[in-house]
Structures are given as C-alpha cells and as structure tokens.
A and B are shown apart, each in its own frame.
Chain A
Amino acid sequence: EDKVVQSPLSLVVHEGDTVTLNCSYEVTNFRSLLWYKQEKKAPTFLFMLTSSGIEKKSGRLSSILDKKELFSILNITATQTGDSAVYLCGLHGSGNTGKLIFGQGTTLQVKP
C-alpha cells in the first residue's frame, strides 16, 4: 500500500531562519511527488517532482527528490511570516487517474 509520511508535524521558527521539511514515501510504482501550501483555505500548488536530483526552485522555496532513498525535502530560506502555513506532500503512484495520497502535513509557524 502506498504511503506518505511528513516530518516534522509542526515547526515554529523566527523570521529569517531556514527550514527543511521532509516527505518520505513508500510506493509500488512512482510517477510523481507534489508539494502544496495551504493557508486558510485552498491548497496551492508549489512543485511537482518526477526525477531524482533535479532541484525545483521558486524564489526562496526549493525542493528536491531522492528516488533511491524515497524522500523529498522542501527548503524555505529567509523565512517570512507569510510562509506560515500547512505544507502538504502528495504522492502519485501508478496509473493515469491522477490520484494523490497525501501525508499528514507540516504546520509551519514563522514568528516576527
């Protein structure tokens, strides 16, 4: 059975800190791994990762996938209070249905 585990479950940092969020997974047939940011309402898409070792970057956020060790990390540098959110990791296994299995999420709080 496909499975996704995120760690830590919650994290409190101060503005300017760098954080690393982890997503480990078990899957029979890997297709892609997605990261989402959820503030008050709808999760918003951040990154889709399909290949090992290729970093995806958007401003202060970056993510990378390790398909050998079965994990992904999401890095946020120079954190701001606007980064406070729940970060969700979703895994897509085999098939063409687009079904995602999500981890529990990591709640990040950035204090001024």
Chain B
Amino acid sequence: NAGVTQTPKFRVLKTGQSMTLLCAQDMNHEYMYWYRQDPGMGLRLIHYSVGEGTTAKGEVPDGYNVSRLKKQNFLLGLESAAPSQTSVYFCASSYSWAWSNQPQHFGDGTRLSIL
C-alpha cells in the first residue's frame, strides 16, 4: 500500500552541486507531477508528464530537468543547485484526464536545503 514514494526525504547540498530526486508510484498512474512548496506560496508546478517518455514544463521549470523512462518513476534533477531552490518538493500522480477528472495523489515530500 505504498502509493507515491519519494527518495530521499531530506538532503542538504552546497551551491553548485547536482542531485536527483526520485518519485515512484505503484498505482499504474499515467500522469506524474513535480511541485515545490515555499512558505506562503502554495504548491507550484515544476514539470509534469502525461506518459512514459514524455515531459513538459510547468509554472517554474528553470533550473530543473526531468525524465520519465519508466511509467512508475519520475525523476527531478538539479544540475547546479542554487540557494533559491531550497524548498520542499512534492511528487504527485493521477490516472489519465483524457476521459474524466482525476485527483492527484501526493508523496510525503523531500525537504531540500541549498547552502
């Protein structure tokens, strides 16, 4: 009964370092999303994917890259971390919206600090 699992849960990076956040879902969802959450700003969409091998930009994509090589996994990469990327990152997934509206299911988040 895992749902959406994010790895790691916490990470501290130095400016300029790179890292990858992993999101895995076991619900056979077609759609996956990466958000960041900052105080007073709600959730903002970084990138999303509507199927294996496809990705698209959200509201705040700069400084991030993503890949969806397998249906169950969605990776978020920071090539050169900056202090402005200090945030809590949430991954979410849902069934396809092609035929009906679907709620998104969220992971527990990754708290990332860039020094």
**A102, B44: Cβ atoms closer than 8 Å:** yes
A82-104 vs B, CB cutoff 8 Å, 1 = contact: the mask equals 00000010101001111111111
Do B105 and A45 touch across chains, with their CB atoms under 8 A apart?
A: yes
Docked CA distance A100–B35 (Å): 10
Does A7 sit within 8 A of B, measured CB to CB? no
Please report which residues of chain B, range 67-111, place their CB below 8 angstroms from some CB of chain A when the two chains form the complex: 90, 94, 96-98, 101-109
A96 touches B98 (CB 8 A): yes
Q: How far is the CA of A74 from the CA of B41 in the complex (A)?
A: 19
Complex Cα gap A26–B108 (Å): 29
Q: Are B102 and A41 in contact (CB under 8 A)?
A: no
The number of inter-chain residue pairs (CB within 8 angstroms) is: 70
Q: Knowing A97-B31, A98-B97 touch, does A42 contact B45 (C-beta < 8 A)?
A: no
The CA of A98 and the CA of B101, in the complex, are separated in Å by 8
**Which of under 10, 10 to 19, 20 to 34, or 35 or more describes the interface residues of A?**
20 to 34
Distance, CA A99 to CA B31, complexed state (A): 10
Shortest distance in angstroms between B24's beta carbon and chain A's nearest beta carbon? 14
How does the 8 Å CB contact mask read for B45-85 relative to A, with 1 for contact and 0 for none? 10010100000101100000000000000000000000000
Query: Once the chains are docked, how many angstroms separate the CA of A88 from the CA of B35?
Result: 13
Tell me the minimal C-beta distance from A68 to chain B in angstroms. Answer: 20
Once the chains bind, are B108 and A98 in contact (CB under 8 Å)?
no
A32: B residues at CB distance < 8 A: 101
Q: In the complex, what residue of chain A is closest to B32 when comparing beta carbons?
A: A98
> Contact flags (1/0) for A26-70 with B, using CB distance below 8 Å?
000001101010000111110010100000000000000000000
What are 9 A-to-B residue pairs whose CB atoms are below 8 Å? A6-B42, A34-B104, A42-B107, A92-B97, A97-B50, A97-B56, A98-B102, A102-B44, A105-B42
Given contacts A42-B109, A48-B103, A101-B59, 6 further A-B contacts (CB under 8 A): A6-B42, A42-B90, A90-B43, A96-B96, A97-B50, A99-B33
